[in-house]
Each structure stands twice: as structure tokens, then as C-alpha cells.
Structure 1
Amino acid sequence: EYHFNFNFPDVEDTMLMHYVLNETPGTHGLKQLAMKHTIYGDYEKPLYEFQDDYCRRNGIIKSAFTWDLIPFDIIKVYAAMDACVTFLIFEIFRDAIRKNDKIKRVYRDILIPGMQFLKDIQDTGVPFDRKRLEVAQNLMDDEIQTSILRLYQYPEVKIFEQAQGKEFNPNSTLQLRKLLFDNIGLSPTGKKTGTGQHSTDAEVLQELGKQHDVPQHILDIRQKSKIKNTYLDKIIPQLDRDSRLRTNFNLHSTTSGRLSSSGKLNMQQIPRDNPIVKGCIKARENHEIVAMDLTTAEVYVAAVLAKDKALQDVFRSGGNFHSSIAKIVFRLPCEVEDVAYNFAMKRQAAKAVTFGIMYGAGPHKISQQVTKDSGSYFSMNEAKEVIDDYFRQFKKLKMWLEQCKVDIERDAYTYSLLGRKRRLENVRSEDKGIASHEVRSGINFLVQSLASDINLLGAIDMNDYIKEHGMKSRIFALVHDSILAEVP
């Protein structure tokens, strides 16, 4: 609509049809489906044969070839086959969907309305302030260069350069290992790469930063470089004339049913705690940016699915959720609003357990998570005690999780409350690790898919209301469990 001012009022989508029948990512492309479901596989072959021949005859590389060079006699057949194959696949998938009422409802009541809604917000685009972006880009570049110069002032780095006979490159993993573990003599964390080498990823640098300033300094450079390279440098040249970025939101790219984002900008991966990129999102004149968030949506969904009244009552109380959970589980002698200040570690433990146990995290994982988040060691025994105390308070949640495990192992699939189907064939794997992971994925799906669908359906209703009443507000993005909009 934005580019051509043309609207398709009644549509079907073979990609979404296949997705509701088989949620496996990367299997929904038209060419793949044509090969699998029709006799016309490889119908695009004449295009590539012409491309190869043209490039060979004219001495050009394939990346320099443009499709307008293909003769009309070839391209018209390809276009006709595109339409023909799409319709053949549509008929096959339509009949398959009609046989399952749950799947049919998901396609008709969630995916098709969702597709129409996402078309609207993609056309609206994410509003950016071009000048702010350019200023942020220059400032970030200056900060990165200053940080690099400061890095070279560390005596350990100077000694390393003298020994190696060359300038230290912080982007070289090999040099970084030598500097940190050989020259400075830091103790490795124990985390290894796939090739058995000591890891120097962000998590490791964060931990090593407790021993020396250099790892934290390098981590700071990496983080700033990522913001500049991944966001600022890419956003500016892709803005449309109205200073909006029109990127993609996808309904068909995850097994859990959650939305994904791709194209010019992945909106789902903008760092939540980074104000730089978010600060460059700016509403049009006389409007404000409003973010509406479904706080702890997945826990809320689990409480409903498990029919756990005790857990539901925590939400009804209206206090801070994680503080309320900590007060209940640990029987803390203070008001809910004082928990974060007086019992920060216990609140962190309650939070880690809340999110962890729904996805099968045991004492080891909970111990690691609380230690990482709080900065203080939290033992496996402490983690086990918290998990046991948690389930003593929320018995129905534990029963529900156990029943989900039984059902998934028996059926090798599960349905969400709204009818999405998740196929889980790997529960039958002889590898216990793979089978166990598949069970966790199934429980994860039951919670995540419903939370995501609640957010999506709410946004669809909101968008319909805005259009029906001629309002000036515009939704421009869905990010995780939040809705972003411009409002007068």
C-alpha cells in the first residue's frame, strides 16, 4: 500500500498455510514447496541457465547480473509458473487445513488477520530522527576511537606489542587469548569454544573483568562497535524520504509462534537497555511514542494454564511480581515494596526460578543464573532449596509441568490453548539429552505461543479500532511482549 497505493482485500497465503501445517523454519519457500508437492519443481531453472550463459558470454560476475536482462519470452513463462504452482499448492494446503479444526482456526483467526495487521505496521514504518542518528553515529565513532587509544596505553598491552612486534588487534581472538591468559596471566573461566580453545566471548570477558580492567575495556569497545555497525551505520542509509525505516515482521519464522523481524532492521534484537538507538526513534510532529508491555506475560499464561490459584493471586495482588514471589517463597519479614532493597539476592533467586523452571532449568542452571545476575555466588544446594520451596507454594504449577512432560513424551506433539500445533518427534530420540531438550521445547511452546498470540491479537484489535474510528494513532512495531505506537 505504501509504495503502490494498492490494497488486496481478500488474500490467502501459501507460506502461512504451510507454516500452520509444518512449523519447521526454512521449509516454507515456494520453490521448496513446488519441488515437494507438484511435478513442476525446478521451474526457475531456465532463468539460472540464461544467467550463467549471459555472464559467461559477457565476462561479468553473477552479482553484477540483474533480472531485467532476462528476455521476456523466458521471464513470462517463469511468472506464469509462479502463479500456477502457487495455486496448485494452495489447493493442496487448503484441503489439508480443512481436516483439522484447530489448525483451521489458527490460520483463519490468527495468521491471516496477523498478516494484514503486520502489512499495516510495515507500511507505517519505524519513525527515526535522521539528525539524531547522524549525531549518535559520530559520537559513537569518537568514543570507540578514544577507547581503543586508551586500550593501547595499558602497560600489559604495550609489553604484548613489544613481544609480538606488531600492534595489538582487539578483534583478533588469537591475540586476545595470548594477551589475557599468557601475558596478563588471567585464570580462564573454563568455558571453551567448539575447537577446545578458551572462549573470549562477552560472558567470559565480563567474568574476567573481575580480575583485570583490560577485559572489561575490550568488552566496552565491542559493545559500542556493535551498536554503531549493526544499528547506526545500517539504519541511516535505509531510511525512506519520510525518515521512516520499513522493515519486516514475520509470522512464520519460529517454532514457538512468536514473531520475528528481518530485513532492513531486526526490531527484536535492539538492546532493551541501550538508550542510544531507542533515543533515535522519534514520533512525527505533535505525537509521542507510547510502549505498551505485557509484563511477565509468560508467567501469567503459565498460571492460567496450570490453574494455579496461588500463583494467580500473586498477579491479582498488584504488587511487584518478583518481589511478591520472593516474599511468599522465602517468607520474608517485610512488605513487598521493601523486598528489592532488603533481600536483593532472594528476589533474584525467585526471579531466576520463576523463569527457569517453566523451561526445565534445574539447580545447576538456576545456580549459574542467580550468580551471574546478582554478582554473588549462589550454590546448587541453595538453588535446589529454592526450587523445592517454590513448588511447595505453587503445587498446581508443578503438577501441570509434570503432566505436560507425560503428554509430550506420549504424543510427540502438543497443541497450544489457541490451537497451534508443535510437532516434537525428537522426544523419541535414543539420546536422552535430545529427548529432554524436546520436552522443554514443548513446554516452552505452550507458554510462549499463547503469550505471543495474546499480544498479537490485542494489537490486531487495537489497529482495527484505530482505523474504524479514523484515529491518528499508528502502531509501528511489536517487540517481544510490547506494542509500540505513535499517538497524538
Structure 2
Amino acid sequence: MALIHMTKQAHLADFQRVMQAKVVAIALKTAQPEPANPWRSPMRWIQVATREDIFIIDAGSVDCRDAMVPLLEDPNILKVFHHAKFAARHFLQRWNAAPRPLFCTYHAGQLLAMGRRGFQHRLRDLAERFLQSSPEPTWELLWERDEIDEDLIQAAADEAELLLDLHQAMNAAIATHKLKRVTSLEFRTVVPVAAMELRGIFVDRERLKPLTTSLQAELDALETEVKQHLRDPESLFEDESFLNLHSPKQLLPALQRAGVEVRDTSEHQLRPYLDKHPWLKSLLAYRHRSIVLNTLHQLEQAIAPETGRVHATYHQIASPSGRFACSDPNIQQVPREAEVRSCIRPEPGYRYVMADYSQVELRVAAGLSQDPVMMEAYRNGEDLHRLTAALTMGKQPDQVTSSERQAAKAINFGLIYAMGAAGLQASAKNSYGVALSMEEATTFRDRFFQNYHGIARWQQRLGEEGRRRGYVRTAGGRLRSYQGEKMRITEMLNTPVQGTAAEGLKSALCIFWDKVKAAELDAAIVAIIHDEIIVEVSEDQAEQAKEVLVASMTEGIAWLVPGVPFVADAALASSWAEK
């Protein structure tokens, strides 16, 4: 295997040989390790390997754009990366080049872990798992050295060659476990996610500032009020300024002294005392407004000076079911208050298209179970919550009240995961504000399964098969193994439903990305909020982008769960608050 260290422009003539390969390994080193800011951290070294050649490109000395872009965009060459999103973000920012098709050893390792805990997915860990080797990761020194010597050239070559070996071994394991369809989906999703992070989301700093000031004043007033009620008459201090309302260790004894006999300081414990001690509402308000204020601070601190936007990190496979998570900052956890979400808006000349799936988990459950009543209701466009209320409460659908429909939400979303009566009672109270007696919860649960017998049979079948096989699958083929773990029926049902919904969302991202490119729309995904997609689009193309997004979302999940109509509710908006 030829090893070529490319430090001069003339060396690029040899690079054309890589275009003859079917599989090419690529590794990127920047001035800072992952997650490096693409605007602040220039590319230093690019390693490109085939089975015949390994090229170590000094990206600081050699302009390799014209050589690399055709390779990245060639549809007939598979590009193998570790942490493909990191490289994709840099290639998109510098060259507007998307590496597709690709294979990511990091995501492959996650999928092959099959939801089991205790696995690491660094290159050295994957080498031990799939190649039974323990390489010395000297290539990591490439992050630290300004100049590269012969030893590090060899280390860089070893890393690139390791990627080729891992691809071969992991691809075989993927085939063995029948994971090709879901790995293909995850690999296709990498570039749209990288582009979303790179685009970022605009946060109006000028709107944040007065809101932060007013919230701080509100918090100060709430804190003063609560501490007056918690004042210890035997204290040597004149006030309770020393008391930290965020510290359960300090707050619990203060509450107990004030006559609030709780075991802990959770909201669940405090709510029964609100009538007797109305000032506890101020304590709960203080907590919530503290979260809101902290969110505003996080958003302001996260605004990148290079773009004026927030570039959050999205974790593509954050749970065994494959759902997304978000951090730095967590856009998915921004409070729902309009005053906060109004700060997140498109830039001038643009609008938001915001779309989310309607009852996606219930529709997935209906399709996976082939429950005839649920499927017929969805085909007829019926309100499933109203139907469930009617069936479980012995009423006609037009007689169901709004509170009964609210209770039916708890019934639907709890019982598709085989929640028990006690769990249903707690969920109805905590999540939907509906008080059910244990007798009511038991009756509603029994009637639910009597009417939705397809759901009941599916849950029984999935439980029996899952325990016998030791795993469950999503519609996309994702595996959740329970090897060495206790198998809980609620989690066994959760993975196929939530995992399939997550796969539908990822498929929608890929379809939308492709459609936008083909139509040359000035539109880009800027956030994923659970089952919701937010797109920023130029005002004159907003209606077109809305149609494309809705079509992409329905198409994205229909192939996974045929026979059930899926609905994506979409709206145009001038800020996130308008949803």
C-alpha cells in the first residue's frame, strides 16, 4: 500500500487514483478536536485511504477542494468516516460539499450495541469489539502537534486503514443482525443534521435583554415573598436571605417548620398543600421562572459571534429507540411561554414553516398492531381521543366533554404501552391534570383493551416473542436487545412505537433535504423538537416550502407503517411563539 504525504499542490495529480475505488476512508483533523467550531478551527490534515493508497493531505499547504469535492459527491464511492457529522459540518461550511453516500463507524457501533449499556464507540473500542485488536491510538496526537513527522504520518495512515477494516467487519455484523435498512437511514440522516447544526437558529438578542431584566425582577419578588413565609422565628438572622430555594437539603426543613409536612420538595409533594398554604404557588412559580431565566441566559451565551445564531448539537441516536436529543443548548427544552419563544424567530426576509405529526405514536401503534378499530377511525378522520372517551366511558362521541377527552389522552398514550391502572391514574393526574379514582382507572383500562383488541393481542404477542428472542425491533429494523437485562413490557412496547416514529422523522429530514436541493429552494431545517420540524425559508417561497415539508413528513413515515394515514400539521409563522 502506497503512503503519500501531500504537502505541495503538485502532489494532487496522484490523488485521482482514489476515484477508481468503491470504498474510501476519510478522516479529518482540525486545529481543535471535535466538536470544533467550523468558523474558528481550520482544517489541518485530511487522511484519505483506499486498499491501494493512503494520502495524508496537509490542508494548510495544499488547496485540495477541487480534488476532494468530486470524491465527496461521487454517488458511486462509499465514504467511510468515524463521527461523520463532524467532517460533514466542516466540508459543508468550507466547500458546500455533502459527503454522500457515507458509512459512519460511530453510528454503526451504536446500532450494533442494540441498546445495551456499557459500550463505548471510540475507534479503539470499536477495534477491540469488531477486530479483536488493541491499537495504540497515536493518531490522536495529530490534534496536538503543529507539525507532522514520520511517526505521525504512519499513525495517520494507520487510522485511515483501520477505518477500512472496521467498515468491512461492521458491515458484516450489520448484515448478520439484519440492520442494513436502519443503518442506511441513519447514515443518510447525517448530512441533513450536520447542515441543520451549521445553519443554526436565529435568536433575537435585543428581545432577550429586556425580557431577562423583567424576569429577574419577578424572580427577586417571588423569592422575597417565599422566604417571608419560611422565616424561622428562632433564627439569629433577621431574614432568610441565606436560604437557597434551589437546595432541597435547605428547603425541606424550612418547609416542615412552616407546617408543610412533605417528604421531599418535589412539585408532586407540594401540590396537595396549595389550598392550605397558597404561598406555595409562589414557590412553584419561582422554580419555573428560574428555569425560564436560565434558558434565556443559555440562549444568549450560545449565540455565535460569527453568525449571530445558536448552533446547538443534535445527538442522532440518543436512546435505544433512536430518538434525537439536543444540547449546548437544549433547544428541545425551551419553555413554551410565548415571551420566550418569540425571541426565536427567522431573520428578516424569512418565515418559519413549523410542522409536527398528529398523534404519531398512536398512529404507529395502530399500524403495528393492525387494530381494526383504531385504523378505521384514522381512515375516517375521526378524533381518536374522543372515540376512546366514548368507548371507555359508555357515551356517544358527541356527548364527550372536554375534560373527558383530556382523560382519554392519558388513556390512549398510557395504555398503548400497557400501563397498569395505578400508572394510568398517576399519568392522568401529573401529565393531563385529570383526577381518576383507582376504580375509574381500572374500568377505563379494561374497556380500552376490550374495544381495541388488536392492541391487546399485539402487546401479548410482542411480549411473548420478545422474551423468547431476547429482543424487539422497530419497523425500520432497529434492534433493542435485552441480553443480560430484565425485560419490562412497557419498554418492550416503547421501542417499536417511539423508535418507528423516530425513524419516520429521520426519513422526513432526508426526503426534505433532497427535495429542497432539487427545487433549489432557499429553505433550511433549523430545529427538531421531538416530532416537530422547524424550517426557515425566504418569504416568497414559504407556501412552497410548507407543501414540501408536509409531503416529506407524510412520505417519510408511510413506508414504515403502511395502511394508516399520517398527518403533519403545518403553519407559517414569524416566530416560534406562533405555533
TM-score range, shorter chain: 0.7 to 0.9
SS, match of residue 121 in structure 2: coil
| Deviation (angstroms), 1:352 | 1.4
Q: Rate the CA distance shift 1:333–1:321 in 2: closer, same or farther, 3 A.
A: closer
Stretches of structure 1 lacking an aligned partner (at least 5 in a row): 49-65, 189-197
For the aligned residue pairs, the C-alpha RMSD in angstroms reads 2.8
Query: 1:79 and 1:402, CA in 2 relative to 1: closer, same or farther beyond 3 A?
Result: same
Q: 1:444 is matched with which residue? A: 494
Are 1:5 and 2:98 counterparts?
no
Aligned CA distance change for structure 1 residues 106 and 47 (closer, same or farther; 3 Å) = closer
Q: Secondary structure at the match of 2:326?
A: strand
Q: 1:146 to 1:330 in 2, by over 3 A?
A: same
- Aligned pair partner of 1:246 in 286, 293, 311: 311
After TM superposition, give the deviation of residue 42 of structure 1 in Å. Answer: 6.2
Report the counterpart of residue 61 of structure 1 in structure 2. none
1:30-429 paired onto structure 2 within 5 Å = 30-38=123-131, 41=134, 43-44=136-137, 68=144, 72-73=148-149, 79-100=156-177, 102-108=178-184, 110-154=185-229, 156-157=230-231, 159=233, 161=235, 167=241, 168-181=243-256, 183-188=257-262, 198-229=263-294, 231-240=295-304, 241-262=306-327, 264-271=328-335, 273-333=336-396, 335=398, 339-340=401-402, 344=403, 346-373=404-431, 375=433, 377-426=435-484
Q: Is the 8 A contact 2:126 2:166 kept in 1?
A: yes
Cα distance, 1:359–1:160 mapped onto 2, change above 3 Å: farther
Change beyond 3 A, Cα 1:236–1:363: same
**Shift in CA distance, 236/113, structure 1 to aligned 2, threshold 3 Å:** same
- Taking the aligned partners of 1:125 and 1:47, their CA distance within structure 2 comes to 29
**Following the alignment from structure 2 to structure 1, what is the Cα–Cα distance between the partners of residues 529 and 435?**
33
Distance, in Å, in 2 between the alignment partners of 1:254 and 1:239 is 27
Matched letter for residue 401 of structure 1: Q
Q: Please give the secondary structure, in 2, of the residue aligned with 1:486.
A: strand
Report the TM-score when normalising by structure 1: 0.82
Q: What's the CA shift string for 1:194-223, capped at 9, x where partnerless?
A: xxxx32123323344343134332222222
Identical residues among aligned pairs (%): 22
SS in 2 for 1:211: coil
Kindly tell me: are residues 32 and 138 of structure 1, through their superposed partners in 2, closer, same or farther at Cα, counting changes over 3 Å? Answer: farther
Give the aligned length.
442
Cα deviation digits, residues 168-198 of structure 1 (max 9, x gap): 32123222111212x122232xxxxxxxxx3
Question: Are the structure 2 counterparts of residues 136 and 30 from structure 1 closer, same or farther at C-alpha, using a change threshold of 3 Å?
Answer: farther
Question: Which amino acid in structure 1 is aligned with residue 428 of structure 2?
Answer: V
TM-score, with structure 2 as normaliser: 0.70
CA deviation string 1:260-308 (max 9, x = no partner): 223x22233333x333432211112222222111111001011111111
Q: How far does residue 136 in structure 1 lie from its aligned partner after superposition?
A: 2.4
Question: Are the aligned partners of 1:416 and 1:450 in contact in 2 as well (CA < 8 Å)?
Answer: yes
Amino acid corresponding to residue 126 of structure 1 in structure 2: I
> Aligned partners of 2:287, 2:155: CA distance in 1, in Å?
46
More helix by share: 1
Quick one: structure 1 residues 158 and 42, their matched pair in 2 at CA, closer, same or farther if it must change by over 3 Å? Answer: farther
1:480 lines up with 2:530 in the alignment: yes
User: Which shifted more, 3-12 or 399-408?
Assistant: 3-12
Task: Check if 1:457 corresponds to 2:507.
Answer: yes
Distance 2:156 2:273 in 1: 57
Q: Which amino acid aligns with 1:327?
A: A
Runs (5+) with no aligned partner, structure 2: 1-90, 540-579
- SS of match in other structure, 1:389: helix
Distance 1:292 1:159, change over 3 A: same
Structure with the greater relative contact order (CA < 8 A, sep ≥ 6): 1 or 2?
1
2:463 is matched by which residue type in structure 1? K
One-letter amino acid matched to 1:150: E
Residue in 1 aligned with 2:23?
Answer: none
For 2:94, the aligned partner's letter is F
**Relative to 1, partners in 2 of residues 1:320 and 1:339: Cα closer, same or farther, differing over 3 Å?**
farther
Q: Which amino acid aligns with 1:265?
A: P
C-alpha separation in 1, matches of 2:227 and 2:297: 25
User: Which letter does structure 2 place at the counterpart of 1:365?
Assistant: G
Cα 1:121–1:165, aligned 2, differ >3 Å: closer, same or farther?
Answer: closer
Deviations 1:325-374 (A, max 9, x none): 212322324627x621xxx1x32332212111222210111112223356
Deviations 1:75-134 (A, max 9, x none): 65654443333333222112222334x3112212x1111112212212221122121222
Change (3 A) 1:383 1:287: same
Change (3 A) 1:208 1:86: farther
Supply the distance in 1 between the matched residues of 2:361 and 2:480 (Cα, whole angstroms): 17
Code of the aligned partner of 2:517: K
Alpha-carbon separation, structure 2, partners of 1:163 and 1:135: 34
Q: CA deviation at 1:392?
A: 1.5
5 Å-filtered alignment, 1:14-25, equals 14-24=105-115
1:58 corresponding residue in structure 2: none
Taking a change above 3 Å as real, the CA distance of residues 416 and 334 of structure 1, as seen in their structure-2 partners, is: closer
- Aligned residues of 2:102 and 2:188 also touching (Cα < 8 A): no
Residue 172 of structure 2 aligns to a residue whose secondary structure is helix
The one-letter amino acid of 1:335's match is D
- Structure 1 residues 405 and 78, CA gap change in structure 2 (3 angstroms): same
SS at match of 1:213: coil
Q: 2 CA distance for matches of 1:297 and 1:452?
A: 10
2:558 is the counterpart of 1:468: no
With 127-136 and 110-119 compared, the bigger mean Cα shift is at 127-136
Query: Whole-Å Cα distance in 2 between the matches of residues 180 and 225 of structure 1?
Result: 19
Write out per-residue CA displacement over residues 387-432 of structure 1, whole angstroms, 9 at most, x where no aligned residue.
Answer: 1111111111111111111111111112222211111225xx6xxx
Q: 2:337 & 2:365 partners in 1: Cα distance?
A: 29
